[in-house]
Amino acid sequence: MKSYWSEYWAQGYITSFGQDIKGNYAGKLKECWLELGNELKENSKILDLGTGNGALIDLIQKNISKGLNFTGIDPATINLDATKDIHGTFLSGVFAEALPFEEERFDAVISQFALEYSDVQVSIEEMLRVLKPKGVVQIICHDINSDIVVPNVQILESAIRVQATMVPVISEIINAIQNQSDTEKVHSAYLKKLINDDIKINPHAINATLLTNFYEFILKNRSIDLNKAFSLFQSELEGLIFRLTDLKSAAAKNSAVYSLLSEFCEIEKTDLIDSNREKIGTLYKGYKN
């Protein structure tokens, strides 16, 4: 996971949604973080678990006037160019399961779509170890039935089909183009059938894999290095499958997060529903006993 996410953050994304959200978090997500920011006292020390390129810290700082002291940690490599205008300490290569801080250092521990990627049994004990008594915990986790996770799982399922059945056919088409073979028509007809079958399952999912875009690309650019282009496409597809498999696995830990937090905190669990009545995820907020 570390290598993939390091490469992802290196591209300068501010959120884990990539190009889907070009600015910072908005709506219900923004609302609940600003509520927390207003609640915290001046000069409070806040730890952001799985900070990525500092989206939460950036959001709170831009909307809350009081001085707050942020530390953001991530197991991946943080892009310090992306965080240079965000005030705080950013530490790469730090796992939530092994926090390098003394006990009861922070007034608040926060995390959004990150804690559930860790070993929650260990990381929750660690985050509470470094939190002061009566300190606040605010965590937002993916939910397996949320309107973020469900469509991404559908894309994952399509990407796995693409990798297993369509990528080999693309390889045959490239070989036929390079050898000027008549078999190109046969392989192309078969690929189109596979694509149409997948469209019937979920047209958005197959489109999100970029398989059809790549197929059209190679037909229009026959004279370029198709093997190199194919290798890049395969790498992108593998990255997509890795990221969405990681997401699916993380979202399945949601219920465990609640039970573990409840052992140490007075915790409230809230479904985050946006203005379109879509479920974003689950909010956990509470105070250390």
pLDDT in tens, 220-257: 999 999 999 999 999 999 989 998 999 999 999 988 99
Last residue of a domain, one of 247, 265, 280: 247
pLDDT in tens, 138-149: 999 999 999 999
Tokens representing residue 101 in the block: 């801080």
16 and 82 in one domain?
yes
Mean pLDDT of the residues in the chain: 91
117 and 49 in one domain?
yes
Report the CATH number that the domain containing residue 135 is assigned in CATH: 3.40.50.150
Q: Above 80 in pLDDT, residue 25?
A: no
Provide mean pLDDT across the span 88-95: 95
User: How many structural domains does the chain have?
Assistant: 2
220 and 127 in one domain?
no
158 and 139 in one domain?
no
270 and 134 in one domain?
yes
Tokens representing residue 211 in the block: 């398989």
What stretches of 40-182 show up as alpha helix (H) in DSSP?
Answer: 55-63, 80-83, 120-129, 149-161, 167-178
Query: Which segment of 163-172, 214-223, 257-266 scores lowest on mean pLDDT?
Result: 257-266
Q: Above 60 in pLDDT, residue 20?
A: no
Beta bridge partners of 269: 284
pTM summary value: 0.85
Position 23 confidence tier, pLDDT thresholds 50, 70, 90 = very low
Give the pLDDT of residue 160: 98
Provide mean pLDDT across the span 33-45: 95
212 and 159 in one domain?
yes
Question: Domain range spanning residue 115?
Answer: 2-143+252-288
Radius of gyration in angstroms for the set of CA atoms belonging to the chain, rounded to a whole number: 22
pLDDT in tens, 7-18: 777 776 666 654
pLDDT in tens, 41-85: 999 999 999 998 888 999 999 899 889 999 999 998 888 888 888
121 and 67 in one domain?
yes
154 and 136 in one domain?
no
Q: Whose CA is closest to 50, among 85, 75, 25, 16?
A: 75
Q: Whose CA is closest to 256, among 141, 126, 153?
A: 141
160 and 233 in one domain?
yes
257 and 200 in one domain?
no
199 and 87 in one domain?
no
165 and 258 in one domain?
no
Position 99 confidence tier, pLDDT thresholds 50, 70, 90 = very high
| Cβ-proximal residues to 215 (8 Å cutoff; 6+ apart), any chain | 170, 173, 191, 195
